[in-house]
Amino acid sequence: MSNLVRGEFYKLRKSNYFIGIIFLAIVASFFLIIIWDNDIHKLQNVKSNLIVNGASSIQYGFEYIIYTSFIFALLGGEFIAKDFKNSNISKSFSYGYTRSKVILSKLIVFIIACLFLEIIYTTILVIYVSINHEFCEVLNLNVILYLIRVIIIGIMYSAATICIIAMIAITTKSALCTFASPVIFLLIQLFLSNISAYILPYVAGRGAILRFAPKEEIIFGIISSLLTFIITIGVSMLYVRHEDIN
């Protein structure tokens, strides 16, 4: 299993598209900076005591995954869908590895790569805000616990959303369908807002990373992400196990 993971990392590092996708992650950070500046300008006119610092900007990197997920979908189309479509993934089967291990290793590398991209654009945003407004006025226990909650739950629902993209890439074997998957997320959020929290983990997760989120919201956000992990990975495994991949 470890050899498969190392092999997938090697293929990703040597690919021609990964550098371009890293560049897109950097571009996404400027998109987040613009949103941050606009939001803060509007809110400061309403709330004079608004807390503005680098620590509070961390959740922006997670909150706007609905838009930055296009980068993950682009990576999923290249790294997963095209491997299935071109039958490159079947080469691993010929070395004696089981289908479950092959697809699981690919999922692990894909999730880590996407989270790495998320770290890039979130870090740039936090640095920008910290330079202009400092990172945190008082770093006490409450702030530390809040940041831990934001990071853990944010990573959980980001990874769960990434798993949905991976499942679409595996089942459709289409880079175009994979890239279009965030559009489906947007449509669900717009037209099925009443049930979107039960379908999309980042909708439930956003309520869980608010500064004064109630325990019910936090628990619901965690459960939503865990269920998404189980369903998407399970569907991906079953599909690969029973599908004829040549």
* Structural domain range at position 77: 2-240
pLDDT at 135 over 90: no
Read off the pTM.
Answer: 0.89
What's the mean pLDDT in 229-241?
89
Residues 216, 221, 222, CA angle at the centre, nearest 5°? 100
| pLDDT the model gives residue 30 | 93
Percent of the chain with pLDDT over 70: 89
Pairwise CA distance, residues 83 & 210, whole Å: 38
Average predicted confidence (pLDDT) for the chain: 85
Q: Residue 206 in 3-state DSSP? A: helix
Q: Does a structural domain hold residue 245?
A: no
pLDDT mean over 91-115: 81
Can you list the alpha helix ranges (DSSP code H) found in the chain? 2-14, 17-46, 54-63, 65-76, 82-85, 90-93, 99-133, 141-172, 175-191, 196-199, 201-208, 215-242
Q: Is residue 246 part of a domain?
A: no
- The answer to the question of residue 33 being in a domain is yes
**224 lies in some domain:** yes
Q: What is the pLDDT of residues 9-35, one digit of tens each?
A: 888 888 888 999 999 999 999 999 998
Strand, coil or helix: 89: coil
96 occurs within a structural domain: yes
Q: Is the pLDDT of residue 63 over 70?
A: yes
73 found inside a domain: yes
**Each residue's pLDDT tens digit, 188-216:** 888 877 776 667 888 888 888 888 888 88
- The total number of structural domains in the chain stands at 1
Structure tokens at 190: 């717009």
- pLDDT tens digits, one per residue of 155-170: 999 999 999 999 999 9
Residue 94: predicted pLDDT = 55
Whether the predicted pLDDT of 246 surpasses 60: no
